[in-house]
Structure 1
Amino acid sequence: MDIWLFFIFLGASFAAGATGALFPTGEWYKGLNKPSWTPPNWLFPVMWTSIYLLIAFAGARVAVLDGSAYAMAFWAMQIAFNALWTPVFFGLRNIRGSVPIMVGLWVAVTGATITHMQLDFWAGLAFVPYLVWVTVAAALNLEMVRLNPDQQALKLQDL
């Protein structure tokens, strides 16, 4: 594995993750109805830090391999959806509008998991916790839509 590639993928991951600092949960999120199985708040930064390290490792292992075009395309797709979800959900407070982004993220992570696994077992395995976490996040996103039917998104002029 090329250590410089690892740091490039890690930088991309943490850049996407920085949206969490730009759009913190705040009082609005605390006031939402959430399912009883919502993970505790302390778990989110632990999981995302772990996931970002793992997918940077996976990307660095696979990027140098012949035939990695689809794996790299799915890697890019997942980090783009990852970066987009937080500003829509927390920034615009658009719970419903974040669902299609979450679906795209789930598809991208699934594609990345499969294509990385086809090229390198350890790289594919590194995506498995991400796939599990995004599956839980998607279920949580859908349940929050259901539990907060009257929640209105912010308008751009309200920002």
Structure 2
Amino acid sequence: MAERRSSCKPVLIAAIVAIFIAVLGGTLTDTGPWYQNLRKPSWQPPDWLFAPAWTVIFALATASAVHAWRNAQNRVQREWVIVLFALNGFLNVLWSTLFFALKRPDWALIEVVFLWLSILLPIVAFWRFARPASLYLLPYLVWVSFAAFLNLTVVRLNAPVA
């Protein structure tokens, strides 16, 4: 029983953290008048698509964290799993803060590079010992790549952003 309980602990912790980050990011995402008045490209997905996309991405990131944690070969690797996901969570929330709360898509465009790298880094790091954990993060990397291009386009369409 204790062994089963300990095997559930990483799942519960990862799920709670993912939900917390998702809720925090969602709370910061204000699609009110300021956002609605921004010029956006015709190819931007509809607003309703973002919540389901992020739900899938967070579910896959949670699965990645759990898989990487369980397949880590030692304490140092498990600590790196925590550090990499904590960094990514922080950068994810920071992007929402910059873009929506501070209304600075130009600053968010700079920050999205670091967010993108914070997804690529665990993909590379986990490849040696937890290949599925790396693969679970690929949709996240693709989505943030798309979001970065969208962010760039919004900045260009609304220049100067101040």
TM-score, normalisation: structure 1 = 0.87
Residue 16 of structure 1 is matched in structure 2 by: 21
Match of 2:100 among 90, 104, 112: 90
Unmatched 5+ stretches in structure 1? 153-159
TM-score, normalisation: structure 2 = 0.85
Residue 5 of structure 1 is matched in structure 2 by: 10
Deviation (angstroms), 1:4: 2.3
User: What code does the residue aligned with 1:111 have?
Assistant: L
Deviation (angstroms), 1:126: 0.6
Residue 66 of structure 1 is matched in structure 2 by: 73
Q: Does 1:38 align with 2:48?
A: no
User: What code does the residue aligned with 1:117 have?
Assistant: W
Q: How far apart are the structure 2 equivalents of 1:127 and 1:23?
A: 22
Q: How far apart are the structure 1 equivalents of 2:86 and 2:102?
A: 24
Work out whether residues 98 and 108 of structure 2, in 8 Å CA contact, stay in contact via their aligned partners in 1. yes
Structure 1 segments of 4+ aligned residues over 3 angstroms from their partners: 69-72
Q: How far apart are the structure 1 equivalents of 2:28 and 2:159?
A: 26
Q: Does 1:132 align with 2:120?
A: no
Tell me the secondary structure at the aligned position of residue 127 of structure 2: helix
Q: Does 1:51 align with 2:61?
A: no
Unmatched 5+ stretches in structure 2? 1-5
Aligned residues: 152
* Alpha carbons of structure 1 residues 22 and 138: separation in structure 2 relative to 1, 3 Å: closer
Deviation (angstroms), 1:71: 4.1
